Structure 1
Amino acid sequence: MNLPLNTSANPADPIANARYNMIEQQIRPWNVLDPQVLDLLAVVRREDFVPAAYRSMAFMDIEVPLAGEPEQALRDGRCMLAPRLEARMLQDLQVRPTDRVLEIGAGSGYMAALLGHCAQSVTTLEIDPTLADMARQNLQNAGLANVSVRVADGAQDPLVEGPFDVIVLSGSVAELPSALLGQLRDGGRLGAIVGHDPVMRFTIVRRTGDRYESTAPWDTTAPRLQHFPEPSGFSF
């Protein structure tokens, strides 16, 4: 990933200034210090992946609704994650130029765009056809020819493209999805926000042969991805 770095503030350019503030005030304080990730955030135009009605929210430290009534969109997971979450996930998964990546939950395509700059190829699944069309158009406009968008339910539909070096869930789940773990190559990593409100944990699972080792380096919360199992938590 060789991208031009332009992270300086520019008071004459409100968009550039907002992007600079996002990186310096939200993302760096969240221990995102990898210079390649910071370079990427400076040049991938997040505002181009936000619906026009919410363009003013592009650089805020919040989830951005993508379609329909805003509160319902957030409840249904039809949103962009907060910028610091996307940046920290990208950094911690250490995506390499030779990696084949699967994303569950394309949304507007922004995370897929970040991944596409780092990886050999990205397949991103989106359960909502309207959002899939949005993501496809946004990625095309951004010139990401190595990212493909497919309308699919990442919790239930077969994954004919696997196995993968990296799997990213752009939303939360109650428990690690065993079917997706089975799609990891030897040496592969899966990253998911796992658990229940008010505290979830970003969990990374690494496959080594037949072994799966997990770490949970930080806490957060995020809207649910649809149709993944939701255990009741009760036992008898």
Structure 2
Amino acid sequence: MKDIKMNFEQARYNMIKQQFRPWHVNDAQTLELVTEIHREDFIPGPYRDLALADTNIPLLHGQVTMAPKVEARLLQSLTVRANDKILEVGTGCGYLTALLARLGGVVHSVDIYPEFTEMAAKALKQYKLENVALHTGNAVNGWVDQAPYDVIAVTGSVPVLDESLQLQLKHHGRLFVIVGNSPAMKVLLIKRLGEQEWSHEELFETDLPPLIGASRAPGFRF
């Protein structure tokens, strides 16, 4: 058991040095957090040894995790504060849920698949995070029941951005969302500046399966 633990610790060091640093993840709080909350505790058994690898790990229903470096950039860009009210669209394995909960206030995490809600609930117990509310439902257009939010993190892609997500931000709220079609999707950081004013910053490109029920981009006609 000791050797296995040491392997994960070495893999975590390599992940930070070889994945995070080249991707400009240099926020001390983010780097400290990933050493405190262990990703391997949330990854399904058959893939546990790949928990810290630079890859999207398969989950049920054709879904995958974000790569670790994408999760780290998400945390760094959202600048989560202690009293922030957070919406996570897509609970998945629950790892990002745990990271957001350790940084922020109440986290409302919603997934359309009850298996993911149950899996996350089990994994979260060991970290005694009491500021997480797990919901099963479709939050592709947000979760109006608990709106507005300081932070919204969308963990799957959407072909087109639905403005309802932006409208559920508080003033000065931040939204992390992946928009577009495979293989080149844009990762956007959207900030609400006023009642009808937002800023849009393109962070990088990635590729991730779409959320279930996300609006399709209109096709081209020739």
TM over 0.5: yes
* 2:15 alignment counterpart: 22
Cα deviation, residue 84, structure 1: 0.4
Cα deviation, residue 182, structure 1: 1.2
Q: Is the 8 A contact 2:117 2:135 kept in 1?
A: yes
* 1:94 alignment counterpart: 79
Q: Deviations over 1:177-205 (max 9, x none)?
A: 21111110011011101111221111011
- Which of the residues 52, 55, 58 maps onto 2:48? 55
Cα deviation, residue 156, structure 1: 5.3
Q: In structure 1, how many angstroms separate the alpha carbons of the residues matched to 2:79 and 2:96?
A: 14
* 1:128 alignment counterpart: 113
Do residues 222 (structure 1) and 201 (structure 2) align? no
AA of the residue aligned to 1:48? D
- Which of the residues 58, 67, 80 maps onto 1:65? 58
- Which of the residues 204, 212, 218 maps onto 1:232? 218
- Which of the residues 184, 194, 197 maps onto 1:209? 194
- Unaligned ranges ≥5, structure 1: 1-9, 68-72
Cα deviation, residue 92, structure 1: 0.7
AA of the residue aligned to 2:56? E
AA of the residue aligned to 1:40? L
Q: In structure 1, how many angstroms separate the alpha carbons of the residues matched to 2:190 and 2:104?
A: 19
**SS in structure 2 of the partner of residue 224 of structure 1:** coil
Q: In structure 2, how many angstroms separate the alpha carbons of the residues matched to 1:129 and 1:12?
A: 31
**SS in structure 1 of the partner of residue 173 of structure 2:** strand
* 1:36 alignment counterpart: 29
Do residues 171 (structure 1) and 148 (structure 2) align? no
TM-score normalized by the length of structure 1: 0.88
**SS in structure 1 of the partner of residue 161 of structure 2:** coil
Q: Is the 8 A contact 1:40 1:114 kept in 2?
A: yes
Q: Deviations over 1:106-134 (max 9, x none)?
A: 00100111111110111110111011100
- Unaligned ranges ≥5, structure 2: none
TM-score normalized by the length of structure 2: 0.93
Q: Deviations over 1:53-86 (max 9, x none)?
A: 111110111111123xxxxx4xx3x221110000
Q: In structure 1, how many angstroms separate the alpha carbons of the residues matched to 2:146 and 2:99?
A: 20
Following superposition of structure 1 onto structure 2, how do residues 150-165 of structure 1 map, counting pairs within 5 Å? Answer: 150-155=135-140, 158-165=143-150
Q: Deviations over 1:139-192 (max 9, x none)?
A: 122211111110010125752011100001001111222111111001101110
**SS in structure 1 of the partner of residue 144 of structure 2:** coil
* 1:192 alignment counterpart: 177
AA of the residue aligned to 1:42? T
Q: Is the 8 A contact 1:11 1:17 kept in 2?
A: no
* 2:94 alignment counterpart: 109
AA of the residue aligned to 1:222? L
Cα deviation, residue 11, structure 1: 10
C-alpha RMSD of the superposition: 1.8
AA of the residue aligned to 1:173? V
Cα deviation, residue 235, structure 1: 5.3
**SS in structure 2 of the partner of residue 13 of structure 1:** helix
**SS in structure 2 of the partner of residue 80 of structure 1:** coil
Following superposition of structure 1 onto structure 2, how do residues 74-85 of structure 1 map, counting pairs within 5 Å? Answer: 76=62, 78-85=63-70
AA of the residue aligned to 1:62? T
Matched positions, count? 219
